[in-house]
Amino acid sequence: MNRNEQLFERAQRTIPGGVNSPVRAFRSVGGTPPFIARARGAHVWDADGRSYIDLVGSWGPMIVGHAHPAVVKAVQTAAADGLSFGAPTEAEVEFAERIVRLLPSIEQLRLVSSGTEAAMSAIRLARGATGRDRIIKFEGCYHGHADSLLVKAGSGALTFGHPSSAGVPADVIRHTMVLDYNDCQQLEDAFGRDGSQIAGVIVEPVAGNMNLVRGSAEFLRTLRELCTRHGALLVFDEVMSGFRVALGGAQELTGIEADIVVLGKVIGGGMPLAAFGARRDVMRHIAPLGPVYQAGTLSGNPVAVACGLATLELIERPGFYETLARRTSQLADGLMQAARARGVAFSADAVGSMFGIYFSERVPASYRDVMQCDRDRFNRFFHQMLARGVYLAPSAFEAGFVSSEHDEALIAQVVAAASDGFDGLA
């Protein structure tokens, strides 16, 4: 038994499944997850001392690479001044000002500690601000694990969904409607029927939790128009796409502005930090200004805020996103060429520094399309890549992430590994 295997066995005795978040357990791809001992730049090292080119980036936050010296220094400096106060700080004001400057749809924001908490609070805000209960979400989009958002589609369009987890009462999701992503007709029908009861619609404008699926321009435009017409609030969950697909997130790419924006991942630079923000007239409903309760002992934690600020400073450098997008396209194109050369049914897509790989001839546009990709092939490809020192997300339903530390040579190395990996599938 190697050290990873020993640790996994030991972990399973005291931690359910040996992990603190389920996808880490490699259940869908099989095998033993590497236990990560350290990380730097574009690489992670496991407990056996093996290094991998990391295309997971802690599921999105590590956009400037691991342990960036400027970020580590900011964290160390902040930590030396105290780990938590539960009182306001100047740094969190600076942080809020920076986000407001970068995202035109946000005039005020509240910091929290996870994307789950941010999305949950955004939904409460949408309900509290409109005085309505009903919300719409889309099949395949993930917004964290708040009860009312753990819903999967029912048997037909326009039916209410079923809990996607045990422990979520049907009563709690009674107000959550689940529609198909990129389906404008379903949206029109839902608003036509229940428009005056809908508090808000929550959507990943670039979906990254059913592999990578772009929200179409028509879909996002329709969403914007319907919400405005019916007085519902459009909630963009940019936990993944925010500061990832562009400096201004999906809103910059699509030109569509949300009423409430949910942020996480990149804004914390790897520390537990997330946020939700909106125009002032919406945020005034939040306590202590208004009646929508929301709070947190560690919210705006000074070490997390210092980490986030240092990261935001780095990503504002000129050309940062252009270079990242170029490298990510180079990766997607390289993978597609390698697969084509070997006759493997495969496609890839990139939006900014997010990418998707699909064992299917075409890029999916919906959850249903994603479900038709060849999962068994993905799982074998995943292990081919892992054996060649490339760490992909251990599931066919996750997007991948490129950091500014992934230079052209590393991308070429990944493509070369994939060429061999595709051969290994035959």
Q: Which residues bind ligand PMP (CB under 6 A)?
A: 59, 114-116, 119, 142-144, 204, 208-209, 237, 239-240, 264, 274
Say which of 54, 180, 259, 265 is annotated catalytic: 265
What is the gyration radius of the CA atoms in the chain, in angstroms? 21
Q: Give me the least distance between CB of 143 and ligand PMP, in Å please.
A: 5
Q: How far apart are CA 117 and CA 237, in angstroms?
A: 12
Compute CA 255 distance to the chain's CA centroid, rounded to the nearest angstrom.
20
Q: For residue 400, what are the CA distances in angstroms to 232, 348, 396?
A: 32, 11, 10
Q: Give me the least distance between CB of 116 and ligand PMP, in Å please.
A: 3
Q: How far apart are CA 231 and CA 233, in angstroms?
A: 7
Q: How far apart are CA 114 and CA 187, in angstroms?
A: 29
Q: Give me the least distance between CB of 258 and ligand PMP, in Å please.
A: 13
Task: State which residue, 21 or 155, has the beta carbon closest to ligand PMP.
Answer: 21
- CA atoms in the 13 A half-sphere facing the CB of 15: 12
Return the axis-axis angle of helices 320-341 and 408-425, rounded to nearest 10°: 20
Q: Give me the least distance between CB of 351 and ligand PMP, in Å please.
A: 14
Q: Give me the least distance between CB of 341 and ligand PMP, in Å please.
A: 33
Q: Give me the least distance between CB of 119 and ligand PMP, in Å please.
A: 5
Task: State which residue, 264 or 421, has the beta carbon closest to ligand PMP.
Answer: 264
Q: How far apart are CA 98 and CA 155, in angstroms?
A: 44
Q: Give me the least distance between CB of 60 and ligand PMP, in Å please.
A: 7
> Does residue 137 have an active-site annotation?
no
Task: State which residue, 41 or 264, has the beta carbon closest to ligand PMP.
Answer: 264
Task: State which residue, 143 or 377, has the beta carbon closest to ligand PMP.
Answer: 143
Q: Are 344 and 422 in contact (CB under 8 A)?
A: yes
Q: How far apart are CA 241 and CA 250, in angstroms?
A: 6
Say which of 237, 259, 349, 369 is annotated catalytic: 237
Q: Are 294 and 286 in contact (CB under 8 A)?
A: yes
Per-residue b or e along 116-149, where b marks 16 or more CB atoms closer than 10 Å to that residue's CB: bbbbbbbbbbbbbbbebebbbbbbbbbbbbbbbb
Task: State which residue, 59 or 138, has the beta carbon closest to ligand PMP.
Answer: 59
Residue with the two structure tokens 């326009």 = 158
> Does residue 73 have an active-site annotation?
no
144: left (phi over 0), alpha (psi -120 to 50) or beta: left
Task: State which residue, 22 or 86, has the beta carbon closest to ligand PMP.
Answer: 22
Task: State which residue, 249 or 421, has the beta carbon closest to ligand PMP.
Answer: 249
Say which of 52, 142, 367, 391 is annotated catalytic: 142
> Does residue 265 have an active-site annotation?
yes
Which residue's C-beta sits nearest to ligand PMP?
115
Q: How far apart are CA 305 and CA 267, in angstroms?
A: 9
Report DSSP state, residue 181. T
* Active site members: 142, 237, 265
